[in-house]
Structure 1
């Protein structure tokens, strides 16, 4: 690497007056005694044509092209020359690609080797052109976040890559395309070369359960790519059958009396307090004709008999109860209380 850098500096110092590629309009010569170095100047990537015209070739010398510092460079050029010719042309066989060339060396290098062994080094700076658009690593990104996630948190990272050779042409900006959700913004992390999706407002599962929007990456030349982002909101408070210790409870109550069915009190309190404020209700009673004989405390879940029951009419009654989250009635837990009269 040090040898390559020094070689490039010497070439550049010796050839500062050269602004563009020498071609058939200009000419070069080879030194088949001690060899030599020539920096041919610079050209934009995508160049096709003659790179140099070599003149005054001795008839007793033949020339060949050889790689130097950049093995892959040889697939871009050919030497148009026959033994005994006094001139030769080095020309491209396909457009020069700055990205591929710079993976090997800082410039496009090759040797023109004389048949006696002397080597003439050539160098050509290939200037990067912004010809590559940013490309996201994935066509879509998704994640699930809790509605309790703190504002300012980064909830997702999306990344686009630009294949251009220089930092300037790789530089890009990220944005959310309209309609833009108020709850999120994009923050570019230059160090990680990634875009962070950041939470800007509190999430509310009851209002929005899922956000779908488009993020765009655009480079300085206006080349762009987009990706779809899906963020699913998970509610903090969820009720299910598992929130009751059991889905079936048994209780015993004396006939011809009214009041609390005391055996139900511990059951009602086993609903996990972490699920938030709950509202209890009786959904049905079997047999149905006893529906009006019972009531339930909406806050505590304690069941009471309001009208005395006759054991001669029925010995068992099933009371179906439900606990619902107060701020989201769709989140419920259910259980059955089987009451035996004695």
Structure 2
């Protein structure tokens, strides 16, 4: 079997038999509707065409059922099947050429019993024949185009394109034609290309958008053709072809006479039916006739309005009460597109506040002017015809406290003394109010300059540390001094001198340099640091003010050992080190003394032993009572803790027992007037004092107070409340005054 090619209608349904044509070469065969008798060719293969089916037949087939036909390849079994006995090929489902246009199959005849091939395998192609089953479709939609208004006829607008998926090689199934269903007579379309063009004149101001409906058909629009439609939105763009027009040909406006320059008088508006930049307008005032200079007009670029403003002040009482101007509105980009209108402006009378004759006032006054002195006058007028009375006042602030104003005439006087050095300028606000209408108030700023007078004497510029070397020579430079003056005079001139009464005894002289400085010079050779380390020089400084003022200053000149180089700068450095060394020495000395005192205290504490009473047999009378407070009776128990004193008893070395005089009685008995006479008592005290002075463990005598005798007749019967303690009446206590 040789390979063959067969055409099949794409609209064929399932189980439709297909005739198989057998040939030596590949042929494209149309489906036929007639029966052709079997024929023979050189390779002995059968060829048949049947309108209802395709059939494969072997020359060896004797129709006894011994041959079996087998189909394989694309779509075999699911799209195409073969009847194994007859070799007929059937289609199982509907075919779509646009999906697949041909199928390649293979067929073979085998012995049914043995399975041995009787014929060699044959390959053939089934081609699907096209039918008009697809509608044309527009691509690249939706379609939007733009064309300027007033475009010439034939102007290109846009091209629409449609496709048809049928076979363009088969008849007219895919041959398309275009037409306009809606959009005429403004637009037309080329039937084959789909190009839309302007067909008549269009005006954006009449209609700015068109929805053109385009139709496309296949089969050249013949009967049975399939079609589709698309909408093309065509926007008509604007061109600058319209002039602006004022809404009114004349306007009436008004302005109050108190209006300030730049104040809005009114608004005019011209309409331009164009859009975008083509509708932008520029307004102006024509300079022919009328009062064009009195007003100005500006363009609001957002609202396209013309805003009329006041260019010069108007006055109802003294000026024109009605003004005429001509305004012009023209296209911003085409001045030939324009329109004009007339404006009448009426001036309205108002009750105006007072008007000062000046915008601000500058005045001057000497700083030594007395209270009540006249400074200056401010003046305001009522601009109205009525010419009301004006009252003046000062708005209080920190600078107006020194001034007052007469309310009836505006005269300013001083109310407090002035000081230029404290406040060189005083600025404040003065009000002018109509007496009949307190709401009408005007203000003006007043600036008063306080003129300086010479009331400050000159002073030294700095505090000078002046040194003179011991080995200096007469006439050598010592120091240059300068002065300043708080009075702000630009051409200050200072004069320096030594008081005449000190010139004869002076060790130094003063030379005026005539440049507001002076130089101190030596008057002799050599100065002695040991004999006279410091000299004083009195300097009088005066100025050139009127009246001239002066001050007296005493300068201290220190003598210094400047060394071999005679360098005074070393004096300042040595002074610093001397000061530093002195301070360090003092600090170290104080610290050493403190350490020494602490060491002594620690040593004494270490020498002290625990409290011991005298050995048995030692006379308690050898203990001396020494204290710095006279007994206060029972109140002593609150003032002193006697027990604490008793614990601080100092342990002394054992001394040889002395013979105690029996004629010396206790202090207690003496207080009762029972003791010996005064001479014997004094002798006793002297012995005890000598013993205390030679005792190394006793406190210094200058830190103790010894009370020997209280006197007789004590109602308490005792020196103090000591007897109330556990001590013997002859035992005495000793404690430090501190």
Q: Does 1:309 align with 2:347?
A: yes
Q: Which residue of 1 aligns with 2:199?
A: 200
Q: Which residue of 1 aligns with 2:175?
A: 171
Structure 2 residue corresponding to 1:225, chosen from 216, 224, 228: 228
The change in CA–CA distance for 1:136 and 1:189 in structure 2 (over 3 A counts) is same
Q: Which residue of 2 aligns with 1:235?
A: 238
CA distance, structure 2, for counterparts of residue 172 and residue 42 of structure 1: 35
Deviation of 1:25 (Å)? 9.0
CA distance, structure 2, for counterparts of residue 166 and residue 181 of structure 1: 31
The change in CA–CA distance for 1:88 and 1:37 in structure 2 (over 3 A counts) is closer
CA distance, structure 1, for counterparts of residue 46 and residue 351 of structure 2: 114
CA distance, structure 2, for counterparts of residue 28 and residue 249 of structure 1: 108
The change in CA–CA distance for 1:89 and 1:213 in structure 2 (over 3 A counts) is same
The change in CA–CA distance for 1:309 and 1:75 in structure 2 (over 3 A counts) is farther
Q: Which residue of 2 aligns with 1:181?
A: 184
- 1:50-103 CA-partner distances (Å, limit 9, x unpaired): 332545299476623113xxxx7985322333xxxx43321111233333333x
Deviation of 1:272 (Å)? 1.2
Q: Does 1:272 align with 2:332?
A: yes
Q: Does 1:20 align with 2:31?
A: yes
The change in CA–CA distance for 1:204 and 1:130 in structure 2 (over 3 A counts) is same
CA contact (8 A) 2:144 2:234 kept: yes
Residue pairs, 1:271-290, within 5 angstroms: 271-274=331-334, 277-279=337-339
CA distance, structure 1, for counterparts of residue 335 and residue 37 of structure 2: 83
CA contact (8 A) 1:74 1:110 kept: no
What's the secondary structure of 1:111's corresponding residue?
Answer: strand
Deviation of 1:184 (Å)? 0.6
* TM-score of the superposed pair, with normalisation by structure 1: 0.56
CA RMSD of aligned residues (A): 4.8
- 1:206-261 CA-partner distances (Å, limit 9, x unpaired): 22222223211112242212222322222223356865564567441342343548
Residue pairs, 1:14-93, within 5 angstroms: 20=31, 50-54=53-57, 56=61, 59=66, 63-67=70-74, 76-81=79-84, 86-93=85-92
**Long gaps (5+) in structure 1:** 44-48, 282-294, 297-305, 315-342
Q: Does 1:146 align with 2:144?
A: no
CA distance, structure 2, for counterparts of residue 203 and residue 215 of structure 1: 19
- 1:291-310 CA-partner distances (Å, limit 9, x unpaired): xxxx25xxxxxxxxx45535
CA distance, structure 1, for counterparts of residue 200 and residue 143 of structure 2: 21
* TM-score of the superposed pair, with normalisation by structure 2: 0.29
Q: Which residue of 1 aligns with 2:311?
A: 252
CA contact (8 A) 1:65 1:79 kept: no
**Long gaps (5+) in structure 2:** 7-21, 111-116, 241-273, 283-298, 302-306, 353-738
The change in CA–CA distance for 1:121 and 1:80 in structure 2 (over 3 A counts) is same
What's the secondary structure of 1:87's corresponding residue?
Answer: coil
Deviation of 1:188 (Å)? 4.1
The change in CA–CA distance for 1:12 and 1:159 in structure 2 (over 3 A counts) is farther
Q: Which residue of 2 aligns with 1:109?
A: 104
CA distance, structure 1, for counterparts of residue 57 and residue 33 of structure 2: 10
Tell me: higher relative CO, structure 1 or 2? Use CA pairs within 8 A at least 6 residues apart. Answer: 1
The change in CA–CA distance for 1:307 and 1:94 in structure 2 (over 3 A counts) is closer
Deviation of 1:21 (Å)? 5.2
- 1:89-124 CA-partner distances (Å, limit 9, x unpaired): 21111233333333xx5xx53222567694312234
Deviation of 1:275 (Å)? 8.8
Q: Which has the larger radius of gyration?
A: 2
The change in CA–CA distance for 1:17 and 1:124 in structure 2 (over 3 A counts) is closer
CA contact (8 A) 2:145 2:233 kept: yes
CA distance, structure 1, for counterparts of residue 120 and residue 212 of structure 2: 63
CA distance, structure 2, for counterparts of residue 128 and residue 42 of structure 1: 20
The change in CA–CA distance for 1:253 and 1:118 in structure 2 (over 3 A counts) is farther
Deviation of 1:37 (Å)? 11
What's the secondary structure of 1:99's corresponding residue?
Answer: coil
The change in CA–CA distance for 1:28 and 1:187 in structure 2 (over 3 A counts) is same
Q: Which residue of 2 aligns with 1:121?
A: 123
Aligned length: 254
CA distance, structure 2, for counterparts of residue 130 and residue 200 of structure 1: 34
CA contact (8 A) 1:18 1:41 kept: no
Q: Which residue of 1 aligns with 2:136?
A: 134
CA distance, structure 2, for counterparts of residue 232 and residue 273 of structure 1: 23
Deviation of 1:19 (Å)? 5.6
Q: Which residue of 1 aligns with 2:653?
A: none
Q: Does 1:213 align with 2:212?
A: yes
Instruction: Tell me which protein shows more strand as a share of its residues.
Output: 1
What's the secondary structure of 1:236's corresponding residue?
Answer: coil
The change in CA–CA distance for 1:60 and 1:87 in structure 2 (over 3 A counts) is closer
CA contact (8 A) 1:144 1:234 kept: yes
